């Protein structure tokens, strides 16, 4: 996992491969810790993600709430079809801004 | 399969199970569903395990049946109540979606509590190969093929429509610059041949008399085959005549060959073709025929559409060009008639010399600027007057010019004023060459009004007779003696008549516009009724001017005050008592 700050307001997280019970809390805490206080747009690149379970969804929601408290947003970038399916199954595609292509 | 009771271990075990299921031939959708369902089940088994339970493995058993897959997950937690209904938590909730996912991804879920262990039973129907596919794959494939070919056709038609649209726009803009219809038609037809992949084209227009099809263009011009016009009546011989007469496209080819004597054979000896007759406002305008050498390659619907589109557009342009011509001619004619009317007015005497005991009144009313009539009243010495009334056959500027020439010619011969017959004969000799060259002639009547002898001496060149009404008479009489109009014979002679105009008498010189006044029922007034009108007018007044007004009023009554369609010119002579 890698965090970049293309500008003072945006943080891009890449290299997320799986977000499951085994790593969900850790990923959440690492991102939170590394998140600059000026970031209001958190872009999570999900293009490499192969699997996501309900704990992973919890991480996404946790980050979403963090950003919302700053009047910011979390954007999910290019989720793979199976990840997109899980988001839709749990209706969370309505919560996140999903950027395809 | 057993896995140690922590997340990473169960996750790894489930990946192995997924691979095993994949080997068993389960489709990707089933694999993804089982992966997530098992992960969620194992997560719970780990999450709710206490320290003692953590020492025990999580057992995951799978059995793959023909119709479905079953899973049994054994945990050693304190267990929980499997809710009857599983709903999604609030969107903000960070947990609570595991059971929902399990329920959503499986067809059946049951949680059994046993002493020291609990078993979650899951079942999900297999997605069988072909289950999602329509049983009649062939039918579907056929429909797909149909749709594809329809799409191809539509694309072809769209692109040809596009080409024709672009071409038509180009033509429209060109049309402003080049008014040459033939040149324009040629370029349009050339493009049509190219786009519709034809080899020949023939464009014919209906002749002005509406009886024939005349050739405008033959393509390719290099063929040098020119086509004589076709009688529209020859519908049995010529497909073009048939198309124009029956208002329909006519196809021809090996199965329906051109007639033996069809003129089109000269241009299209073999192959196939289509003849399209085009119309504007239901009036046939012409025919366009496209031909193709290859008889086995019929014109497509799109190409026939092209023919229709191009040619119907051309038809409108042809008709527009014709209308433009007609309007230009009409405009020129109207202007010409205005000029003619100006000339005519300028020829009329501005005042009428007194000639006691005679009184003279005259009028020249032009109908719709048509000017062939004129009159003249000239002092002839010794108190006499020369009265001239004439009608130049023809209209417009030429007629007005000849009226002017006649007026000058007569005025240049004052020595002959008292000899009207000789005056007309001389004028005829002078004017004959010019009049005959343009096939025009003039009817004229000349009257020498002699107050001393109280006589009218007249000569008539094919004009309306002099009408004379004597007081006490029942009817006016007409002096019919007349010679040829001026311009017919080079050496015409004109007899001279002398008529007494007694006190109270009235005489009328007029042009035929007067006797040919029509009423609402389209009946001519005629000389008889005009004579009666004159008699009534004479009885009503003894004043020439008042008489003129009364006569004009009666004429207007007769034609119900509608505009007259010919000039009304007359000179009224009154012998004041």
List, in order of start, the domains of chain B with CATH numbers: 2-125 (3.30.565.10), 170-323 (3.30.450.40), 348-575 (3.60.40.10)
Domain boundaries, chain A: 2-99
Q: Which residues of A touch B39 (CB under 8 A)?
A: 20-21, 51, 53
* DSSP line for B169-208: HHHHHHHHH---HHHHHHHHHHHHHHHTT-SEEEEEEE-T
Confidence of residue B135 (pLDDT cuts 50, 70, 90): very low
Residue A101 banded pLDDT, cuts 50, 70, 90: low
ipTM over 0.85: yes
Interface contact B98-A54, CB threshold 8 A: yes
Structure-block tokens of residue A20: 């499951």
DSSP string of B333-364, one letter each residue: HHHHHHHHHHHHHHHS-SS---BTTEEEEEEE
Q: Write the residue in A22, A54, A94 that is nearest to B97 by C-beta.
A: A54
- In terms of Cβ atoms closer than 10 Å to its own Cβ (0-12, 13-18, 19+), residue B17 is buried
Output the pLDDT for position B91: 80
Look at residues B339, B335, B478, B317 and name the one whose alpha carbon lies nearest to residue B400.
B339
Percent of chain B whose pLDDT exceeds 90: 32
**Do residue B101 and residue A54 have CB atoms under 8 angstroms apart?**
yes
B50 vs B566 pLDDT, higher one = B50
Give how far the C-alpha of residue B37 lies from the chain's centroid of Cα atoms, to the nearest Å: 72
Mean of pLDDT values over B323-351: 80
User: Which residues, in sequence order, are CB contacts of B3 under 8 Å at separation 6+?
Assistant: B9, B10, B12, B13, B42, B57, B58, B60
Tell me the mean pLDDT in the region B478-496. 91
Residues contacting residue A89 through CB under 8 Å, at least 6 positions apart? B101, B104, B105
- Between the two ends of chain A, the Cα-to-Cα distance in Å is 21
Q: What is the pLDDT of residue B134?
A: 47
The neighbour count for residue B79, using CB atoms within 10 Å, is 14
Q: What is the pLDDT of residue B133?
A: 47
Write the pLDDT tens digit of every residue in A26-57: 999 999 999 999 999 999 999 999 999 999 99
Q: Is the pLDDT of residue B560 over 60?
A: yes
B172 pLDDT tier (thresholds 50, 70, 90): low
Give the CA dihedral A74, A75, A81, A83, nearest 10 degrees: -10
CA distance A89 to B439: 100
Size (chain A), residues: 101
Average pLDDT across chain B, whole number: 85
- The helix/strand/coil state of B329 is helix
Tell which residue, A60, A70, A69, A66, has the closest CA to residue A97. Answer: A60
pLDDT at B41 over 70: yes
Closest CA to A44 of A17, A77, A69: A77
Across the interface, which of B35, B39, B95 has its CB nearest the CB of A58?
B95
B102 contact partners, CB below 8 Å, separation of at least 6? B37, B40, B41, B86, B109, B120, B122
Nearest CA of chain A to the CA of B117: how many Å? 22
Which has the closest alpha carbon to A24: B95, B261, B419?
B95
A57 touching B, CB under 8 A?
yes
Q: Looking at chain B, how many residues does it have?
A: 577
Is the link from the previous residue into B357 a cis peptide, with omega within 30 of 0? yes
Residue B534: per-residue pLDDT: 92
pLDDT exceeds 70 at position B68 = yes
Q: Is the pLDDT of residue B489 over 60?
A: yes
Per-residue pLDDT of A52-78, as tens digits, reads 999 999 999 999 999 988 888 999 999
Among B76-80, B133-137, B445-449, the range of highest mean pLDDT: B445-449
A50: closest chain B residue by CA: B32
Identify the CA nearest to A9 among candidates A38, A42, A48, A29. A38
pLDDT tier, B221 (very low <50, low <70, confident <90, very high otherwise): low
Q: What is the pLDDT of residue B280?
A: 83
- Strand A73-77 to strand B200-206: parallel, antiparallel, or no bridges (unpaired)? unpaired
State what percent of residues in chain B have pLDDT above 70.
89
pLDDT tens, position by position, B224-242? 557 788 888 888 889 899 8
B549: pLDDT strictly greater than 90: yes
- Listed range (B297-311, B366-380, B429-443, B506-520) with the worst mean pLDDT: B366-380
Check residues B502 and B282 and name the one with the higher pLDDT. B502
Q: Which CATH code for domain A2-99?
A: 3.30.750.24
Residue for token pair 């329509």: B134
Q: Please name the residue ranges forming H helices in B277-351.
A: 301-347
Distance CA A55, CA A24 (A): 6
| Mean pLDDT within A66-93 | 89
Best residue in B33, B36, B41 for a mutation probing chain A (most A CBs within 10 Å): B36
pLDDT at A88: 85
Asked if A54 and B92 come within 8 Å (Cβ–Cβ), the reply is no
Q: What residues of chain A lie within 8 A of the CB of B95, using their CB?
A: 54-55, 58
- Flag whether pLDDT at B109 surpasses 80: yes
The Cα–Cα gap between B53 and B67 comes to 35
Instruction: Calculate how close chain A gets to B101, using CA atoms only, in Å.
Output: 8
Evaluate if residue B455 carries a pLDDT over 80.
yes
Residue B40 burial (CB count, 10 A): 27
pLDDT at B132: 47
Residues near B545 by beta carbon (within 8 Å), at least 6 away in sequence: B359, B361
- Please give the pLDDT value at position B258: 87
SS3 B256: coil
pLDDT at B458: 96
Q: Which residue has the higher pLDDT, B61 or B334?
A: B61
What 3-state DSSP class applies to A38? Answer: coil
Note the pLDDT tens digit of each residue in B371-383. 678 899 999 988 9
Mean pLDDT value of segment B552-562: 86
Distance CA B160, CA B302 (A): 7
| pLDDT tens track for B3-30 | 888 888 999 999 999 999 998 888 888 8
Q: Does B472 score more than 70 pLDDT?
A: yes
Angle subtended at Cα B286 by Cα B284 and Cα B289, rounded to the nearest 5 degrees: 135
A91 touches chain B (CB under 8 A): yes
- How is residue B35 written in tokens? 């992966």
Q: pTM of the entire structure?
A: 0.44
Q: What is the pLDDT of residue A17?
A: 92
Mutate which: A28, A55, A59, A93, vs B, most B CBs within 10 A? A55
- Cβ distance B95 to A90 less than 8 Å, yes or no, reads no
Most confident of the ranges B52-61, B86-95, B252-261, B423-432: B423-432
For the ranges B45-49, B457-461, B550-554, the one whose mean pLDDT is highest: B457-461
- Say if residues B454 and B433 touch (Cβ distance below 8 Å): no
Banded pLDDT at B331 (limits 50, 70, 90): confident
Say if the Cβ atoms of A22 and B11 lie within 8 Å. Answer: yes
């Amino acid at each position: 996992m890698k965090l970049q700050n293309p500008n003072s307001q945006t943080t891009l997280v890449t290299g997320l491969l799986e977000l499951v019970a085994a790593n969900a809390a850790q990923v959440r805490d690492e991102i939170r810790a590394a998140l600059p206080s000026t970031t209001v747009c958190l872009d999570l690149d999900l293009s490499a993600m192969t699997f996501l379970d309900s704990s992973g969804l919890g991480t996404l929601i946790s980050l979403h709430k963090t950003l919302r408290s700053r009047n910011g947003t979390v954007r999910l970038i290019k989720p793979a079809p199976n990840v997109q399916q899980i988001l839709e199954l749990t209706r969370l595609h309505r919560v996140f801004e999903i950027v395809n292509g | 399969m057993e896995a140690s009771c922590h997340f990473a271990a169960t996750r790894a075990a489930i990946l192995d199970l997924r691979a095993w299921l994949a080997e068993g031939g389960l489709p990707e959708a089933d694999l993804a569903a089982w992966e997530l369902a098992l992960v969620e089940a194992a997560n719970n088994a780990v999450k709710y395990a206490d320290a003692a339970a953590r020492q025990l493995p999580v057992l995951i058993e799978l059995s793959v049946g023909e119709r479905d897959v079953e899973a049994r997950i054994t945990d050693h937690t304190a267990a929980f109540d499997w809710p009857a209904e599983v709903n999604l938590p609030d969107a903000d909730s960070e947990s609570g979606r595991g059971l929902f996912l399990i329920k959503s991804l499986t067809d059946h879920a049951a949680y059994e509590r046993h002493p020291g262990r609990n078993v979650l039973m899951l079942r999900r129907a297999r997605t069988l190969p072909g289950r999602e596919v329509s049983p009649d794959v062939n039918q579907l494939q056929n429909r797909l093929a149909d749709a594809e070919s329809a799409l191809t056709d539509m694309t072809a038609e769209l692109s040809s429509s596009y080409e024709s649209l672009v071409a038509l726009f180009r033509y429209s803009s060109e049309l402003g610059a080049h008014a040459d219809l033939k040149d324009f038609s040629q370029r349009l037809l050339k493009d049509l041949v190219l786009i519709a992949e034809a080899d020949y084209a023939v464009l014919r227009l209906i002749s002005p008399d509406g009886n024939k099809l005349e050739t405008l263009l033959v393509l390719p011009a290099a063929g040098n085959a020119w086509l004589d016009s076709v009688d529209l009546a020859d519908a049995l011989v010529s497909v073009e005549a048939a198309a124009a007469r029956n208002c329909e496209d006519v196809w021809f080819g090996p199965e329906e060959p051109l007639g033996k004597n069809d003129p089109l054979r000269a241009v299209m000896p073999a192959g196939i073709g289509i003849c399209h007759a085009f119309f504007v406002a239901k009036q046939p305008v012409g025919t366009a025929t496209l031909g193709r050498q290859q008889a086995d390659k019929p014109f497509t619907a799109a190409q026939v559409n092209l023919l229709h589109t191009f040619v119907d557009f051309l038809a409108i342009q042809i008709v527009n060009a014709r209308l433009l011509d007609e309007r230009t001619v009409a405009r020129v004619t109207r202007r010409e008639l205005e000029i003619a009317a100006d000339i005519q007015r300028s020829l009329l005497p501005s005042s009428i010399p007194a000639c006691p005991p005679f009184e003279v009144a005259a009028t020249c009313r032009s109908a719709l600027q048509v000017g062939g009539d004129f009159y003249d009243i000239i002092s002839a010495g010794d108190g006499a007057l020369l009265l001239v009334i004439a009608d130049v056959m023809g209209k417009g500027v030429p007629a007005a010019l000849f009226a002017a020439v006649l007026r000058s010619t007569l005025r240049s011969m004052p020595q002959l004023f008292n000899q009207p017959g000789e005056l007309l004969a001389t004028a005829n000799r002078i004017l004959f060459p010019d009049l005959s060259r343009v096939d025009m002639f003039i009817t004229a009547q000349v009257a020498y009004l002699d107050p001393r002898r109280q006589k009218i001496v007249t000569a008539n060149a094919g004009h309306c007779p002099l009408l004379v009404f004597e007081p006490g008479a029942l009817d006016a009489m007409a002096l019919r003696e007349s010679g040829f109009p001026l311009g017919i014979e080079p050496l015409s002679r004109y007899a001279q008549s002398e008529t007494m105009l007694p006190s109270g008498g009235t005489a009328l010189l007029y042009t035929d516009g007067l006797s040919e006044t029509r009423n609402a029922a389209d009946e001519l007034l005629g000389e008889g009724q005009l004579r009666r009108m004159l008699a009534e007018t004479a009885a009503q007044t003894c004043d020439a001017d008042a008489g003129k007004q009364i006569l004009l009023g009666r004429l207007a009554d007769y034609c119900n005050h509608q505009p007259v369609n010919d000039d009304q010119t007359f000179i009224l002579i009154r012998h004041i008592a």
